[in-house]
Structures are given as C-alpha cells and as structure tokens.
Amino acid sequence: MTGEEYIDRADESLDAAYEAPMSLAEYVDTVLETPQVAAHASKYLLDAIEAAGTRMVIEEGEEKERYRFFDDPYNDGEHAILGNTEVLNAFVDDLRSIAAGRGKDEKIIWLEGPTATGKSELKRCLINGLREYSKTPEGRRYTVEWNVAGAGGSATSMTYGNAAVEDEDDWYESPVQAHPLTVFPDDVRADLLAEVNERLDDHIPIRVDGELDPFSREAYDFLEEQYRRQGETDLFSAVTQPSHLRVKNFVVDVGHGIGILHSEDEGTPKERLVGSWMHGMLRELDSRGRKNPQAFSYDGVLSQGNGLLTVVEDAAQHADLLQKLLNVPDESHVKLDKGIGMDVDTQLIIISNPDLEAQLNKHADREGQDPLKALKRRLDKHEFTYLTNLSLEAQLLRRELTNETQVWDPETWDELETWIQEPLTISVRDQVETATDKELAPHTIESAALYAVVSRLDSAEIPTGLDLVDKALLFDRGYLMEGDERVDIEDYDLETTAEDGDHGIPVTYVRDIVADLLHEPQDRHHPDLPVEHVLMPRDVLNAVAEGLEDAPVFSTGEATEYEERVVTVKNYIFGQQEQDVLDAMMRDKRVDEATVEEYIEHVYAWESDDQIENERGELVDPDPLKMKVFEIEHLGRFDEKNYDGNEPDHAVEQFRTDKIITALNRHAWQRRDEEFRVGDVNPKEIPVINTVLGSYDWDDIQRTYADFEPGQWDNPPSGTETARLKAKTLDNMVEMFDYTEASAELTSRHVMSQVSYRWD
C-alpha cells in the first residue's frame, strides 16, 4: 500500500468512530430510534460485554459458557483473561443486578487474587473492549459541549483550563462526560425515559439520574440568566439552541469515561477522587463571590470515569481512599467543595492482592465496633485464582515467552491436545547481539504447565486410584480413559475445592526459569550429544523444582511440597514421549482409516443381521472373516481359539456389542433428528478403536522387529535392524509430531535408555 492509501484507511477508521455534532433535539430522536445509546453506566458496560457473544469452554472438568469480551477480541487477544470463567460470569451477574437496580446498587465490585492471575489483564481488557465498543453504531457514547461566548452581549470565558474563548465557535465539552439527558428538567426527563424504555428491547430499563455536572450547570445558569434578562419566554429552547449546546459522541478511553487510579498516584483523597482547584483561574473567572466550578481540574478518578467505569488498581495502596467511596454508590454523588457537589454515574471496581483483605480485617476482633465494617459490607468480592487447567496454563506460558496473542478455541480435544504438546522456537540474542533460534522440544511447554497446575491442586480430595496428574487431566478435558472405557469426571465424584488454585507455582516463576535456561550454554544439559539449542521437558522440570528452595516467593513448606510433586509429572511426560516414539516406530504398521471404517460397517451389519447401506450408498453384508482378521491382527484382543471357524464365541460377541455397537447407538441417538449412517461416525469416537489402534507397546515392537536391540540405539551398528529402525523412527517423529532432528534424537535416546533396562 502507498502512503496515501494508509492515510485513507486512517480517515475511514476515524470516520467510522465519530459523528458530526448534533442538536439536543436530534439526539433525542436518535435515542428514541436506538435506545441503548442512552444506557446508564452499569448497563452500558453489561451491553458491551454481551455484544461480543459467548463460547463454550471446559474448566475444572465442566462445560461453561464464557463471554468472548474477556478474550480481548478487539485487540487480537493480547490481553485475554485465561480461565477464571466462573469468576467472570459472577462479575457479569453482579453487573446485571446493579444495572437493573436489584438490590446491589450500593455495592463496590472487588476483584482479589494473588499476582499473575489475570486481574491486570481484566483492567486492560475492559479498556480495550469499551473503547472499541464505543466506536460501533450500537455502542455510541454521547456527552454535551457548550458555547456561551456572546450570550447577552458578553464575552465570558468558559474554560476550565488556561485557554480563553475567542469567538462563538469555541466549544467546551463537559469535563466529566455529562449525559445529554441530564439537561432536561426532572419531570420532562422522566416522561422521555418512559417512552425510551417502552421502545427498548431489553428487560433492564435505562436510568438517567442526577443533574448536570457543575461545569455544565455553570454554563446553563449563565445562559439562562442572560436570556431571562432579555425577557425570553422559552428559556429552555434559548439555552439549549444549537449555537449554545450541542451533543457529540466520544470514544471511550482512560480519562474519558474510564477512570483508572494507579498504585503510584498521589495526592489528597479529594484530588485522587475528583480533582483539584486551580487558584489562578478563580481570580480570572466571574465566580460571583464563590468558587467557580470552571476553575476545577476534574482530573480525579471519579471525574474521568463518570459515565461509565472507575477502577482503583492495587487498592491496598489506596486503602485510605476506600472509605471515602462509601456513599458514592449509594448516593451517586461526590463533592468538589463544601458548597459544590457532582452527581456521578460510574461502575466502581477495585482490584487488589490478598494484602488488602488483611488491612480490612485488622479490627475484626472488635466485632460490632469494627470501624471498617460498613466498607466491608459494601464490597462484593470476586476471587481470581491460579489456573487449574493444563491447556490454559500452556497457552499462558506460551504468551509469557512469546508475542503470541491468539486465544485457543478448539473444536475437539484432539486439536487442543496437539496445541498443548507442540514445540516452540524462540530467538535468543547473546551478549554480542547474535540471534540464535532455540527449541523447546515437544511436550516441554506441556511439562512446565502441568507441573505448575499440579502444584495448585488440593491433594486431599482425590478419588482412590488417581493422582494429581489425573486430576489435572480431568479438570482440563473432563474425562479419563480406563482401558477401553471413557470415564467422565462426574463418575469420579470429583469436585473443585477451595484449595484448588488458591496457591501454587505462578506462571511468572516458570517463565523466568525457562528464560534463564534459554540463555545458558547448551552443553550444560547435553554435553555428550552433537546437538545444540534444544530444551527438553526434563531440563525444565529439573530447573523449576531445583529453584523452589531459593525462590523468595515460596515458604520452606511450599518448596518441599511442590518439589515432591514433580515425580508424577515426570512420569506422565515420559509416557507421552514414549508413546510418540512407539507410534513413530510402528507408523508403517498402522491400520488405515478405510480398513477401520470397513470393520465398523461389518459389525453394524452383523448386529442388524441384515444388509446396511454405507455413506457411499453401497449395501454391506456382514463378512465374518473380515471381522475375525481385524479383531485378531489389528485389535490384538482375540486369537483363533475365540472362533469356531469364522464364527465368534460369546466373548467376541459381547465385545462387538458393548464396545462397538454401544458407541454407534450413542452417536445415532445424538443425531436422532438427522439421517444416520454408519459412515458418519468418526472412528475416534469409539473409545476402543481410538485407544487400541492409536497405541502400541513394547510387546508390539518385539513381535514386529525381532532383531531390534534398544541398548544399541545411541550408536547402532550400520546395516542392523536397529540402525534401519532408528533412521525411520526419527524421520517419522519429525513428520508426525513436529520434532526437529535434534529433539527427536534426544527424546528417542531418553526413551530407549529407560526401555533397555527392562527389554529382556
């Protein structure tokens, strides 16, 4: 694209976000046509969240509906909040109650949790989402601007800054985003809102309470006084005529509908809340014997967030301010000075680490005499926790190590599992600024993420026969495979406890460990191998566990507990690597999908005792020989003694009925409103097919490669079956699982070193 084309695109972007200013009457017509643009703060925030839609996710083993707004869709997912869906849904439920005025109006939403749990991401996500929503036609946000120059022959200044009005074309916007309908008298506004809500396709009516802000009230009163002196009878029309008042839309942003009080912000409580007086301006403006609101800065958090959202970040640093906020939700009012107050319409949210709760409870032993009791009653707490889902933690760790921002939204577990296990290449620069690509081998991110998740799980609530890795897998996908059987989380009677996600290894600690490893000389980990720049799962797991004792973030007890949990993770990851190697070794022996589908068709026809029609429209007769060959050679479940000629015995019949037909019937039931054909079934949806055909063991290797010697794997003699099999296996690992030659070599050596001990 040329420079001019980029300029044109920028023009189009701004044109889409802004409208030409309109008169008050035109604005009312707009509201009657599109009522939601007049929404009060909490309702507008709710509308913005719901406008982005929802998607289904699995967390803690349960399927949950998640608002896409929290995936930061307008910003390509850069500040997406991963996990904590229940907490976010409860937050939205609170917003819905507050917006509808159902008993929570006085509440201040409190989001608490340890570091690296997504609280800061929520703040950025809210800013991004509200900014972009306000650029859409249905999300327009409006305020008023005034021009009093020349009214009644006066050239009175209208500024709340240092600029002076030069002519009637100088307009000054309400510094606190005053709602345009607050210009109307109370009785007229009530009737207007009644008509607006009749046209609103929503169960939550729009409320516009309060009066004009002090700055706008000063302009309104001045204009009204000037026209009254002139004998004007239609005072409201004169004051609000387009030459004095117009309505403009604005793009929501920090300082303009969103107020953010940061931890480092200073000043008196009044300055942090609403702003400060500019004393030089008091002398310049006609204040008629009192302070003039036009000489106020309006740079406090409530002023900036008026009309939409106020966030107090790291609230423990502003504990003194929280009590000053007590009556703001109740009364929707705050004072600039003793004689000057300002009505506010904003949704208050405070964000803190757990240390705020310690401050709030410092007088708890005084019970009824607790001076902070009123504040605590108004705080509606939602607690963010560490992630307890492997896939979410893997995604978060990749984000921390790279610039990846895409939110994973898989259609199947198989797709998600592939993303969890895939390798990662990171470019690292050394002291002389030489860039080197370093590989985190397949399963490395998975191992680090799994270890972090396992450290966060409650070990006291695990069903007999399961371990913490099993619990992590159940939380992530909702089921485990026990042999051929798929067992769902509900069958284990496993529930989330208050301890799950409450503590553990944070992602930032793991990220720093991995970053350090990426900058270390490679030969420290694999000095005997002719490969470079590869981090293996065991490298990361060992480093994370070894660093726990010296990391100041963990107590001695925590470090000991987490270090003990690494063993189960190592065992699981080794099993994953082992299966990769086995699958690569047996790739040429795998059954093709057409053969599997043919077997399923014949079993279904056998059970029906009749011909069936497959997806190609062909009639299929059950063939006893084909079924027998498949069950013996490919499934490996039976042998000749289970058949009388080609006729199956009871065990084979029961297997076909329980393992194959049951799965087919389940699929047919799920698609009962559609035409069902056997060919519509994905073989992987039948557990026994998916499990047995996709898995091999070392007995299979011994039967297939009689002369294979795992002890020779590192340096196999040329011309041997071991050498030929190794070459084929490494090639297959690269093609099938995205290993590099180096990581395939390292992984296969690690697996064979363990296998050789038990080979004989």
Distance CA 396, CA 429 (A): 23
Report the residue count for the chain: 760
Mean pLDDT of 579-603: 83
- The whole-number pLDDT of residue 164 equals 42
Distance CA 732, CA 744 (A): 9
DSSP class per residue in 576-590: HHHHHHHHHHTGGGP
When pLDDT is cut at 50, 70 and 90, the band that residue 680 belongs to is low
With a pLDDT cut of 90, the percent of the chain lying above it is: 49
Mean pLDDT of 482-492: 79
- The whole-number pLDDT of residue 166 equals 46
In the chain, the N- to C-terminal Cα span, in Å, equals 67
Q: pLDDT tens-digit profile of 325-383? A: 877 887 889 988 888 899 999 999 999 888 887 777 776 667 666 667 777 778 888 99
Q: Is the pLDDT of residue 735 over 90?
A: yes
Lookup: tokens for 486: 């798929």
Q: pLDDT tens-digit profile of 421-462? A: 999 988 887 655 667 888 999 999 999 999 999 999 998 878
State the burial class of residue 80 (Cβ atoms within 10 Å of its Cβ: 0-12, 13-18, 19+): buried
Please identify which residue in the block is written with the tokens 């994370």: 544
- The whole-number pLDDT of residue 5 equals 55
Report the C-alpha dihedral over residues 319, 323, 324, 328, rounded to 10 degrees: 120
- Domains delineated in the chain: 35-152+166-382 (3.40.50.300), 390-587 (no CATH), 589-758 (no CATH)
pTM above threshold 0.85: no
- The whole-number pLDDT of residue 532 equals 60
When pLDDT is cut at 50, 70 and 90, the band that residue 13 belongs to is low
CA–centroid distance for 711 within its chain? 47
- The whole-number pLDDT of residue 165 equals 41
- The whole-number pLDDT of residue 290 equals 75
Q: Report the mean per-residue pLDDT for the chain.
A: 85
When pLDDT is cut at 50, 70 and 90, the band that residue 468 belongs to is very high
CA distances 34 to 27, 39, 317, 534, 581, Å, are 10, 10, 41, 58, 61
Q: Is the pLDDT of residue 163 over 50?
A: no
DSSP class per residue in 191-253: HHHHHHHHH--SSS-----S---HHHHHHHHHHHHHHHHTT-S-HHHHHTSTTTEEEEEE--E
User: Which residues have CB under 8 Å from 72's CB, separation 6+?
Assistant: 78, 79, 80, 81, 121, 124, 125, 128, 129, 405, 407
Going by their DSSP bridges, the two strands 379-383 and 424-429 should be labelled as: unpaired
Residues 172/163, Cβ–Cβ less than 8 Å: no
